[in-house]
Structure 1
Amino acid sequence: MQALWQLVGAFADLVFGPRTVVCGICLEEVKSICGVAGCGHQFCNSCLGQHISTRIQSKRVPIRCPEHECATLIDGRECRKLLQSSGASANLLEELLQLEIEASIPEEQRIYCPNPRCALLLVRDDQGTAARQNVRSRCPACQQLMCASCRAAWHTGLTCEEFRRRPSPEERAFLALVHSSRWKACPKCKRVIQRSAGCNHMTCKCGTHFCYRCGAAYPVISGYPQPACKCGLYNHSPLDTSPDDTEARQLQLPEALEAPHMVGLAAIRVPHDQQRDRGAEVEGPEHGHHPHHPRYRTALCRYYSNGFCRYGTTCNFAHGVDQLRARHQWRM
């Protein structure tokens, strides 16, 4: 089909002279074009080759036409011809072949070696293996023992369901980090989200809107998410004084992994020399009480108002209305 498009284009050039066509990706007028068989959308060789390379690198096979809302598949032979004409590496062509083989195998028959250094693709011959428990198998490449039923490493003395409920060492370490850092989980897809700054309104990649403080989902009314809790848009303090029970319940954190409560910013000790450099108050018998600037804490900190101030207690601005001071009080 690709050769037919090239033949039609060559005949048109002989009859009507050289012509230019607008590429559907870069929108440039080009003379050398490439049409996708089945839909007829035309692109320049460079753009279509880059599209195929990007899809292979992101492991998104089969490859579709890059035209918006077009579901036409590009044949594997056409993909290889375009890659070869654009000077693609042999590794990229080999990866395309592997992805095509993988896509041709039904998902329920695919087994990947649980060894992260191997990850070899295997095909499960027995169609009834998934219904049985504890079917022992071995990877032919790295000799890793695995369970063909649950596609995990071999679990001696445990059923597939018991092993599935038991967190791995990596999962335990990650859950401990989530608990100690007070990250929150999406109430729908359970994806862990870290907020670096800003308000409590979070939008997950799955499209769910929720409150970062309590984890309550925001219902979408007339196309707009509406708060379903009383936490407010901004916190009164940069850090919570205790972990949220909702977070631990959503992540199913084991009791043995519960970390000590984090300390608020007000309890963090800062050396006196750093406090003087940042302009904070230094109270003590050897330093007395010295404001660094005549306008010290006469205005609210905009970073704190947005949810978090990295300077903490050493900030020159007021963290709350109760810390505001009159300007004339510090005139020099």
Structure 2
Amino acid sequence: MLRWAEKMRNAQTRRALRRKLQEAIAEWEASREARKCDDEVWELAIGSPREGRQDVTRSSTEKLPREAFSCTLCRSRRATALNQPCNHLCYCAKCAEAFRKEVGAVCSACREPSELKILQATKHYRAPTTPGVEKRRKFNSSTEIAEALSRVKLSHQRSVDLWRDTTCSACFADDSLVVDIPCGHATLCASCSIEHRRARGPECPKCCAPSTTHAPVRESTCYVCFDDTSTAFLVSLGRCGHMVCTGCAVAYVRTALGDARAHVTAKGLRCLVDGCDARFGLGACRRLLSRRVRPDADVLPLSAADFDRLARFLLEAKIPTEERVYCAFSDCARLFRKRSAPEATCPYCGRPTCLGCKSPAHRNVSCEQRRNDPTDTLVKATSKPCPNCGFRLTHYHGHACHHIAPATGCLNCGNHFCYACCKPCPPNAHACKCTMFCTNSRILDHLTLDPFPRDTRCGCALCPDCDKLKPCQHCDGGCVVCLGIVRKGPKNLDDAASWHPTAIS
């Protein structure tokens, strides 16, 4: 009886082991076809290490199944994009379109001009994930069980080898690997391959045979600074396809923000390359938000605040000058399109603006009466309008130079101009013939009191916050008030009526 029970337990153990082996072998057989397709296409695209590179122009590529190709970027199996006439086969259709938007109409392997041809996919094949009972094999001997175990171990080893093939052997980064031709070895990522070839020369890092590289990431020359840069730091902004490094692109965008009137138009920004008339807009600049800048570049990446300013300037450039209306309230000052009604409501803050005098809406009061308002008179007496948008700015006597304003220009539209003559100025120069700074000599001879004390040579008012040897936060202590030549300026029109430029003893 005990012997019979022991035999039953042994039989149950064998049946359980056989059942587990059958399930493992069924899963292996289900994925065998997909792995077989991967191996065939890998040899078709780059050539096997044993047989050498094969010709990709043969007719079998025209009937390449959808599962048979694994994209070198996303590792997914989709319809393949074939580059013609070079016949390089590297990316799927989706990645190839994204690559051509970033880089241009060039091949991702040889960088030669090419056209894409999407290969026709055959009937979609999916291996069964759970095969039926009728497809499970039945083993009749221990030899077949041992062979099945060896096949399961082999499939596990092939999975490990596949992971090794997609991981750089130097930095262990999970990135697209460089393929050495004609040996077909793929062991290093793009950056490690560049360092290896600089140190060892044009040879394969695995077999040390002379080779050339085939990689999705290679070096190219920037059209602006003419530096050899990895394509990870290159971008094509316009349809012209000119490749520029992200450092030059970000620096150009910031220069355009400093002088928006000269660089930003309704069609967008001009290409960086001299002689190229191509234009690019917000879509191209948005890509700079996610692109890195070279570590050796003295430029910070494009910030979201810079992008928002550029978007505002581009929208303003599309509105004709005669239809532009700025919100009359200083805490908003947004631009919107002019309407036919006498008043326009700002779409940003919801407050009305009079279109006749460009001031806050004044119902039951005419524009002439509004102009005679004491507050409006004080603002006009102590400020000058921007020649581009009409936004009024104040520059006190002796406070910095007449260039409005360093690095930013007009606080509303970014326009650069001279406060003395109200003529446009380049962002980094003073082009007009006016003096760059206010003149302190003979200030009493050129001082007018009507309606507010200011210098008639440049139109700058006297600062009401400075005092003798006590400069305000915007003054460096060199104005006529800080030096004690005249009294500090009045703060309102009532004080201006009784103000006198008596020298302080």
- Rg larger in structure: 2
